[in-house]
Structure 1
Amino acid sequence: MKRSPIPPHPVLTLALCEQMGVDPAITFSSSRANPGARGKWGEQFTLGHDSDWDPGRDELEVRCTLAGIRNVGQLFGPDGIAPRSATLALALEWFSPDSGWRILGRPEFLRLPEQSDASVPAQLTLTLPANTLRGTGILSLQLLLGDAGTLEDDEKGLARILGFRFGMLGPDTRLVVDGDGSLFPVVVEALGAEEPLWRFTQDWSDPFEDEFSTVWLSLSLNENHRDFPMLREQGTQTWTPLFCQVMASWMAIFLLELKAELGVDFDAIARGRPAAAARGSVVDAAASMVKRGNLNCSSPGELIRSIQTWVDTTARMAQGNQ
């Protein structure tokens, strides 16, 4: 069971977030090339599609526009999370174990509005320097205490420490930096000329919580293998038939390993996202694969056949869009 600390002060709750009615519009830009972002806030964005944007040499500017945050007044006072005279700071945050860092963007400050029913707009920006991004990460709207103000008689037990985190305002968003690369956790390693072309590696402890990323599992491609150049067509990012077979085999092993570990709990994966799984987790990713690929999990043979059909179809679509 995952343990969570009890916050010392009132924080954002799901009910309070829903009353705020936050609907972010997010854009990505860079000085040299368009990052080619595709996706939707609250789900996932990929970068690099049909673009020569390179995270190794290009910065990434993230801009988030909130047309109007409703019911801001409910954040203040004895029934809220901060004193009436306090100032709250709303900022974009980037967190990525793959990149190994966490950063907050320039904040927008929220104060008790003069009209309780007024809708408050906000414009948030976050700059991620070149050569700092890789793999996957999470973008979120974080609410912090900017200034505690002065407590009134009825405002007891509210946060007073500058920078105290009240939590995330609305859902977060997964960002896949390697946009034209695989959406799967793929790594290239020097495994040795005598080793196989690829490996399935797995190190998760709780697949319901652990993130679907190279931290917990991966498709490891052996760059020392003589057939490694055959995984991609020279000078392009087009999938080759060999890479399609590698990916299909890896997916089959992944789902079968998960099925062997979970037993009857695996049945929920085929019906969509299991209620107990964290978004972006290993189990959540498996459920998304099964649903999006219309995979048949009735037997290992049917699973492999349906995976191959999905991967082949996806590869043809990718080639047709180039």
Structure 2
Amino acid sequence: IKIEIVRYQAKSLDNSFRENYFEPVSLVFENNFCCNCGYCSSICPVGSITVTADDLKIDSETCIKCGLCFSVCPRSFPSEHIFTVLNKLNPNLKDGAASNYYINAYTASTKSDEIKEVCQDGGIVTTLLYYLLKEKEIDAAIAVTHSEDIWRPKPIIIENVDDLYKTAGTKYANSPSLTILNEAQKFDKIAVVGSPCMMLALKKGSIYPIGTSIFNNIKYTIGLFCMESFSYDNVINISTEIFNKKLENILKMDISGGKFIVKDKNGEEAKVPLKEVTSLARDVCHYCSDLTSEFADIS
């Protein structure tokens, strides 16, 4: 931890030394470790970083090599070990071998018929957001919806319950949800829904480099269980090559009981062993050890 603090006390160093000392987050992307969560693009003080679902670019002309992007990246230095030590010191946490640290665990399902019609499984994430918006606990939420391309997700800011149903259901292609954190700065209280890597990025951003989050309007983080995600191109490949179905005809995708399952608009369901699609997952997902979004407020 002391090493990371020293990084940000280097203001007196001359530029030539700083340029060699601070590594921009492109190092992570070039070595195929990037999650494309998008947090680096939001935290960059000079707007040098552009992140999409499958790409990351840094403008070398404007980048000041401050190190912020590297410090909050969920795939830079292994901060999980630091958090594990802190978790062990928290008497309220239980250590679940398969589920990581947690306070309490429940099995639940929504009571809303409207949410049941659009949800992936139990509809709990949608129900939580519905409650938070309805009770004015938050002003908005960052989540994911479908874009113009079928099954290509995009981040969205939800301000009311009417738009909430657009976010229901799992999208198996990656979405750089944290790229719109700056856009959400106009709200006083927000919730962020995301995958485990996104929750780790937000956790690191609340500690490094200054001990407090730059995005202090984040009131709740809601983590999703995630085994792996895919590029949009490989979602197409799963549909067309493995299931021999056009992607636009797919109504739902799911992972359950060791199977990857698709249901088309005709009501037909097909499934294959999960191992048949695992090789198509993004490379970075194979290095992830967090199934349950341990660093979220609730998963």
TM-score by length of 1: 0.26
Greater helix proportion: 2
Greater strand proportion: 1
Max radius of gyration: which structure? 1
TM-score by length of 2: 0.28
Relative contact order (alpha carbons < 8 A, sep ≥ 6): 1 or 2 greater?
Answer: 2
